[in-house]
Amino acid sequence: MHRSQDTSRTSSTTKRNQRRALSGILSQGMGLLIYAALVGCFLASASAQEKLAATPPMGWNSWNHFAERIDDKMVRETADALVSTGLKDAGYIYLNIDDTWEGDRDGNGVIHPNAKFPDMKALADYVHSRGLKLGIYSSPGPKTCAGFEGSLGHEVQDAQTYAQWGIDYLKYDWCQQPPSSVEQMKAAYTKMHDALTKTGHAIVLSLCQYGWNRVWEWGPSVGGNLWRTTGDISDRYSVMAEIGFNQNGLEKFAGPGHWNDPDMLEVGNGGMNEDEYRTHFSLWAILAAPLIAGNDLTKMTPYTVEILTNREVIAVDQDPAGKQGFRVAQEGPFEVWLKPTADGSKVVGLFNRQRTVEQMTVNFSQIGIPAEASIRDLWLKKDLGTFKNKYNAYVPAHGVVLIRIKSK
Ligand code: GLA
């Protein structure tokens, strides 16, 4: 009796153990399945993010030149100018309306444009008919930087409205006073990213919070395709240079789908000379920075068009390897920067930050090139020949010599 009781207890314990083991295996299996599904989702969204901005976004934004002086008419004129000047063919696809388009919310909380933009959907249709994409601007706070209606509490609704209009790009500008914790920022950007994703419409997400809280470390994880790394640029050499040359060290955070953004271009706005604008454009190309023009496209000098549409420099920026360049040498105001490109060549910028023309040298040993290499000047658009061990050039004041070096 005792024995049989024992035996039956033993056998029921064994069964229980077997059941436990089985349910353990099953729950482990479920766990693995869930894990695989989550990884799958993450990879799918990572690749969606990558596809959306495989190379740094290119386009135009209204803020740097026009600020609040924007309306439907000037956006249409800019769309026409993007096409007629050849900028669109050179890759400038996004036409981005910055702050001051926002009107009031209706009784249902739906945002409407103000009187400057009578019909945003019709405007988007027009921009699309020119083969371009339309971008818009908002803020995660109650107000935008210029004091207009922000998206706080209306994220899902706003994302849906943008998608209904046919918006393709959103600059989401923090506009609230510091200190803001990194958690607050991540939550706010994730909320909008999720809302945009839910619309099913591909919308590039541009984070703008001026590089606070080391955004480059978490920008991709909240769905950012690009994130501002600095405060606002202005149309002065000192400000542009301060921002551009300070990007060194951030190169490991950029890559296809997610880019450091040292702010929009000032080329053509009149505050710098030709050499300074070439420096600006070359540096942004080496940095694999978004190329978002910020000038009046209906009134460009030939040299502004020449700079903005230099295909060889644009190709440096848009290189498919997506590697952000970095500084390889500095001696006071003389800086040598390098960007390795997909074809194995090295693009080098010799930057002279001094006010006088100076001779500069790049030693091939500094950039990993064996003794002999052929060199092409990307602003002269000219092959310079074959060189041994180094290359010397006179670099204009505040200017640049930008070369592509191919080892022999
Ligand atoms: C901030 C941004 C600018 C611009 C303005 C608009 O200053 O950094 O690029 O968007 O807001 O108010």
What local confidence, expressed as pLDDT, does residue 22 receive? 44
Q: Output the residue whose Cα is nearest ligand 1's atom 8.
A: 232
What local confidence, expressed as pLDDT, does residue 5 receive? 37
pTM of the model: 0.90
Got the DSSP string for 209-226?
STTGGGHHHHTGGGT-SE
Main-chain phi, psi angles of 315, to 5 degrees: -60, -30
Question: Taking 70 as the threshold, does the pLDDT of residue 25 lie above it?
Answer: no
* Mean pLDDT to the nearest integer, 286-293: 99
Give pairs for 324-331: CB < 8 Å, separation 24+: 324/247, 324/250, 324/251, 324/253, 324/254, 324/255, 324/259, 324/260, 324/287, 324/288, 325/251, 325/286, 325/287, 325/288, 325/349, 326/248, 326/249, 326/251, 327/245, 327/248, 328/366, 328/367, 329/362, 329/366
* Mean pLDDT to the nearest integer, 385-405: 98
Q: Best of 173, 176, 269 to mutate for ligand 1, by most ligand atoms within 8 A of CB?
A: 173
Token pair of 363 as six digits: 């030693």
- Taking the CA of residue 210 as reference, the ligand 1 atom at the shortest distance is 8
Question: Taking 60 as the threshold, does the pLDDT of residue 200 lie above it?
Answer: yes
- Taking the CA of residue 145 as reference, the ligand 1 atom at the shortest distance is 12
What local confidence, expressed as pLDDT, does residue 46 receive? 63
Contacts of 251 (CB under 8 A, 6+ apart): 323, 324, 325, 326
Contacts of 372 (CB under 8 A, 6+ apart): 386, 387, 388, 407, 408
What local confidence, expressed as pLDDT, does residue 29 receive? 52
Q: Best of 60, 98, 230 to mutate for ligand 1, by most ligand atoms within 8 A of CB?
A: 98
Respond yes or no on whether the N-terminal peptide bond of residue 333 is cis (omega within 30° of 0). no
pLDDT, averaged across the chain: 92
What is the share, in percent, of the chain residues with pLDDT greater than 70? 88
Minimum mean pLDDT range among 13-17, 161-165, 206-210: 13-17
74-90 pLDDT, tens per residue?
999 999 999 999 999 99
Question: Taking 70 as the threshold, does the pLDDT of residue 203 lie above it?
Answer: yes
Cβ pair 114, 187 in contact under 8 A: no
Q: Using CA atoms, how far apart are residues 374 and 341, in angstroms rounded to an integer?
A: 15
**Distance, CA 214 to ligand 1 centroid (Å)?**
19
Confidence of residue 27 (pLDDT cuts 50, 70, 90): low
Per the annotation, the verdict on 158 as an active-site residue is no
Please name the residue that has the structure tokens 């009784």: 107
The number of residues in the chain equals 408
Three-state SS for 273-303 is CHHHHHHHHHHHHHCCCCEEECCCCCCCCHH
- Helix, strand, coil fractions of the chain, as percent rounded to 5: 40, 25, 35
Residues with CB under 6 A from ligand 1: 63, 98-99, 144-146, 173, 208, 232
* Mean pLDDT to the nearest integer, 94-109: 98
Per the annotation, the verdict on 173 as an active-site residue is yes
What local confidence, expressed as pLDDT, does residue 28 receive? 55
**Distance, CA 344 to ligand 1 centroid (Å)?**
38
Q: Output the residue whose Cα is nearest ligand 1's atom 5.
A: 145
Got the DSSP string for 59-83?
EEESHHHHTT---HHHHHHHHHHHH
Q: Best of 65, 69, 99, 174 to mutate for ligand 1, by most ligand atoms within 8 A of CB?
A: 99
Token pair of 90 as six digits: 């050179």
**Distance, CA 165 to ligand 1 centroid (Å)?**
22
**373 forms bridges with which residues in the sheet?**
387, 407
Catalytic one of 71, 72, 168, 173: 173
